[in-house]
Amino acid sequence: RPAALSAATANLRKRGFLVARGHVIETLSNVNRVIFDKTGTLTKGKFAVAEVKPFAGVSQSEHELLGIAAALEAGSNHPLAAAFHPWQDVFKAQDIKQITAAGVEGRIGDQLYRLGTAEFAAADCNRSLELPDALHTWLLLANSQTPLAWIALVDEVRPDAAPLIQRLKAQGIAVELLSGDQSGAVAQLAHQLGIDDYVAGAKPGDKLSH
C-alpha cells in the first residue's frame, strides 16, 4: 500500500497535480462534486487587452491610459498584470498598493490612480457605474476625481476544459465554478463549458468558506 501510494503520487506529479495529503488519493473514488476556479484553471490565465473604452471628456489617449494601468500593475504577479506589459515603460508609479479582490492604486506625479473593480476604482468619484457588457473581464481605471476608462481583458479557455467537464458529468460527478471574477464573465464561461452551478465575485475568504 505505501508503495502504491508513492507511485500514484509520483505519477500525478508528472501530470501536473500536487498532492498535499496522502489520504486524498485514497478518497478520490468517493468524490461526488468537483469545484473549479476559473483563471488559470479552466482558462490559460494569459490575459490580453481586448478593448479600451474611455469616458467622455477624457483627454488621455488610449496609449496613455494603458500606460497608466501598466504603471500601477508594475511588479505585480497577478495574472491580469501581464496583459499590460507592452505599455510598462510609458509611466512610472509610486506608492503602489495592492488591495486583494479589489485592485491596485498608485501615484503618477501628483495624481492618485486606481485600477480594478468599479466599486474600488470609483470609490472617490461618487458615481454608480455599470459594466459595458457581460462578455469580458472589465477593469475600471480612475483617478480620485473621475473614471477614465473601462479596459476589457480576455483569457483563452483551455482546450481540455470542456472534455474534462463532460467526462466528470458523465460519471455522475457534480461540477461547480467558483470565481472571483465578475458575474458576466463567469456566467459566460459556465454556459460555454456546460457548468450549471457557478458563483462569481467570490473573494479568497468566500472561496475558503464555500
Write the CA distances from 6 to 2, 24, 27, 122, 201, integer angstroms: 6, 12, 15, 52, 38
pLDDT at 124: 83
pLDDT of residue 148 exceeding 80: yes
| 198 DSSP β-pair partners | 177
Inter-helix orientation angle 161-170/183-193, to 10°: 60
User: Which strand ranges, in their side-by-side order, compose the sheet holding 137-143?
Assistant: 43-54, 147-157, 137-143, 111-116, 103-108, 94-99
Judge whether residue 92 has pLDDT over 90.
yes
Nearest-CA neighbor of 102 among 116, 118, 87? 116
**What percent of the chain is predicted at pLDDT more than 90?**
55
Is 0.75 topped by the overall pTM?
no
The one catalytic residue in 37, 89, 110, 181 is: 37
Per DSSP, what are the bridge partners of residue 97?
Answer: 105
Mean pLDDT along residues 51-64: 95
Q: Is the pLDDT of residue 105 over 90?
A: yes
Burial class (CB in 10 A: 0-12, 13-18, 19+), 3: exposed
Q: Give the residue, 122 or 127, on which the prediction is more confident.
A: 122
Q: Tens digit of pLDDT for each residue in 3-53? A: 888 888 889 889 888 888 778 888 888 999 999 999 889 998 888 999 999
pLDDT of residue 181: 79
Give the model's pLDDT for residue 77. 81
> What pLDDT is stored for residue 160 in this prediction?
94
Residue 54, pLDDT score? 96
- In this prediction, residue 116 carries a pLDDT of 93
Share of the chain above pLDDT 70, in %: 100
- Name the average pLDDT for the chain: 90
3-state secondary structure of 64: helix
In angstroms, the CA 105 to CA 131 distance is: 20
pLDDT at 131: 84
Instruction: Say what the pLDDT of residue 95 is.
Output: 94
Q: Is 124 a catalytic residue?
A: no
pLDDT value for 183: 74
Tell which phi-psi region holds residue 194, choosing left (phi > 0), alpha (psi between -120 and 50) or beta. left
The order of strands in the sheet holding 197-199 is 33-36, 174-178, 197-199
C-alpha cell at 122: 470609483
